[in-house]
């Protein structure tokens, strides 16, 4: 994690703007790694909300009599708003900085989780968990990851993207067993309070330890050369919409968005929301099923970091094609693995699926950078929106199918078939044509 001193180009030693540090020599351990560490811990603390929905399905159904489709609708709304908020959050970070945007997002998540403690009607769950937690979570997470890596890293971007993406899985590892135990022994309301406390704890880390831009410290980004901090970008909403319209005129955007929608449908929408109640249908205790989901989080850390490492070295198109193909095959076998006891084939599925869980993020982000340059974080936010829309649709549809048929089997098979389409879409994305030396000189 060390970096040699980066020379400062001539003419950049003059003061840049009020309050901005002048260029200086890079410390032995580049501060970019400390920013990445703070970001990792922050996202991990805020990830408690991702661990809870699947644990709430059966308790809410039993205590309040709500259908699984109703509960799935609230969880689906949270996923959709998570995605639709992300592009605007990336623009707001450009305008106001990362610290205020992420801090406010954590406050909103805290309020949304706490509001569910007193709910008695479905619309209150939709408002608290669907609307507030959805908007709050969408204002950070992967949009936050894209901004951190884009500002602080030139070298090792793929690796750092993988590490920060794995922070959510790490939070899942920490909170899933804890929340499952709380739900089973204390009820779902104390579990909601735990989610709120976890988000609240992360706020001081952001306010006091997160740095917005390397130029604020007079440094170059890791692996790059010094450049002044850009002026705040006004018109955040307009820029987000403009970036969408510009990207929507290109084929790669729709291929990336379509594949990532299937990615969200087969992870957050399906497995994260419905694996625990689906396993419980076959006699598996909730705490055991939640522990298996937590193991996915453990393995996902390895898979995502490894995917970031691979993205720095191999074609992201091929990686995505392989990831989606393997995911689809594994889902086709899942219904036959369900049972009251955890057998070796189920453990193999959990490890296999965990390695693939969000391994798609680093190569997808790399392709956004390849095609969309400085707008890549915002465009990736829109691609992420498609991911969450896919998750939201399947979170609702999975509950609806379970209510109508009494089984999740059709949902598992359908998701496996969708992955074949995602693999195909990824493989047909064309490379950016590089300009010839003569054209560049002209």
pLDDT tens, 212-256? 777 777 777 777 677 776 666 666 667 778 888 888 888 889 999
Task: Please report which confidence band the pLDDT of residue 15 belongs to, taking 50, 70 and 90 as the band edges.
Answer: very low
Residue 131 falls within a domain, yes or no? yes
Least confident range from 129-143, 258-272, 357-371, 418-432: namely: 129-143
| Angle at 130 (CA atoms; ends 86, 177), nearest 5 degrees | 95
236 or 102, higher pLDDT: 102
Report which of 89, 278, 44, 58 is spatially closest to residue 269, judged by C-alpha positions.
278
Residue 229 falls within a domain, yes or no? no
Residue 92 falls within a domain, yes or no? yes
**Residues 184, 48, 379, 96: is their CA dihedral positive or negative?**
positive
The predicted structure's pLDDT at residue 255: 93
Q: End-to-end distance of the chain based on CA atoms, in angstroms? A: 40
29 bridge partner residues? 2
Percent of the chain predicted with pLDDT > 90 = 8
Q: What is the DSSP letter of 15?
A: -
Q: What is the DSSP letter of 373?
A: G
Report which of 37, 9, 26, 3 is spatially closest to residue 217, judged by C-alpha positions.
26
CATH number at residue 422: 1.20.1250.20
Residue 227 falls within a domain, yes or no? no
The model's pLDDT over 186-218, given as tens digits with 9 standing for 90+, comes to 888 888 888 888 888 888 888 887 777 777 777
Residue 7 falls within a domain, yes or no? no
Q: How many domains does the chain have?
A: 1
Maximum CA pair distance of the chain? 71
Q: What is the DSSP string of 266-299?
A: IIIIIIIHHHHHHHHHTT--HHHHHHHHHHHHHH
Residue 81 falls within a domain, yes or no? yes
Report which of 376, 186, 355, 366 is spatially closest to residue 287, judged by C-alpha positions.
186
Residue 16 falls within a domain, yes or no? no
Above 80 in pLDDT, residue 301?
no
Highest mean pLDDT among 200-204, 406-410, 412-416: 412-416
Residue 414 falls within a domain, yes or no? yes
344 or 272, higher pLDDT: 344
Report which of 289, 233, 274 is spatially closest to residue 403, judged by C-alpha positions.
274
| Structural domain that includes position 174 | 31-220+234-434
What is the pTM (predicted TM-score) of this model? Answer: 0.67
The predicted structure's pLDDT at residue 408: 87
Element (H, E) at 73: helix 68-96
């Amino acid at each position: 994690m060390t970096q040699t001193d980066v020379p400062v180009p001539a003419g950049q030693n003059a003061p840049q703007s009020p309050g901005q540090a002048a260029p200086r020599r890079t410390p032995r351990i580049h501060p970019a790694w400390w920013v990445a560490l703070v970001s990792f811990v922050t996202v991990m603390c805020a990830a408690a909300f991702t661990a809870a929905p699947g644990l709430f399905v059966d308790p809410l159904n039993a205590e309040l009599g709500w259908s699984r489709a109703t509960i799935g609708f609230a969880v689906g709304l949270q996923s959709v708003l998570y995605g639709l908020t992300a592009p605007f959050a990336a623009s707001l970070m450009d305008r106001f900085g990362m610290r205020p945007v992420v801090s406010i997002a954590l406050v909103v998540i805290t309020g949304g989780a706490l509001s569910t403690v007193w709910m008695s009607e479905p619309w209150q769950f939709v408002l608290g968990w669907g609307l507030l937690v959805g908007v709050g979570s969408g204002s950070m997470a992967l949009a936050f990851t894209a901004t951190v890596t884009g500002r602080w890293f030139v070298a090792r971007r793929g690796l750092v993207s993988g590490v920060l993406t794995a922070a959510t899985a790490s939070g899942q590892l920490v909170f899933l067993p804890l929340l499952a135990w709380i739900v089973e022994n204390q009820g779902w309301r104390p579990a909601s309070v735990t989610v709120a406390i976890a988000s609240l704890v992360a706020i001081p880390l952001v306010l006091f330890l997160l740095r917005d831009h390397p130029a604020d410290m007079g440094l170059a980004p890791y692996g790059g050369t010094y450049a002044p901090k850009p002026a705040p970008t006004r018109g955040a909403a307009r820029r987000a919409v403009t970036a969408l319209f510009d990207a929507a005129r290109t084929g790669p955007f729709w291929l990336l968005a379509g594949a990532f929608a299937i990615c969200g449908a087969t992870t957050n929408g399906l497995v994260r929301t419905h694996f625990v109640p689906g396993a419980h249908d076959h006699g598996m205790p909730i705490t055991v099923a939640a522990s298996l989901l937590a193991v996915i989080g453990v393995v996902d850390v390895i898979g995502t970091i490894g995917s970031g490492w691979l993205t720095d070295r191999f074609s992201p198109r091929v990686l995505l094609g392989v990831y989606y193909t393997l995911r689809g095959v594994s889902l086709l076998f899942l219904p036959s693995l369900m049972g009251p006891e955890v057998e070796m084939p189920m453990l193999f599925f959990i490890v296999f699926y965990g390695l693939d869980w969000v391994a798609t993020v680093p190569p997808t982000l790399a392709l956004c950078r390849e095609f969309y340059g400085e707008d890549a974080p915002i465009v990736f936010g829109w691609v992420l929106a498609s991911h969450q829309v896919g998750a939201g649709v399947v979170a609702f549809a999975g509950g609806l199918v379970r209510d109508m048929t009494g089984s999740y089997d059709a949902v598992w098979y359908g998701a496996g078939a969708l992955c074949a389409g995602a693999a195909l879409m990824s493989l047909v994305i064309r490379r950016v044509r590089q300009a010839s030396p003569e054209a560049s000189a002209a």
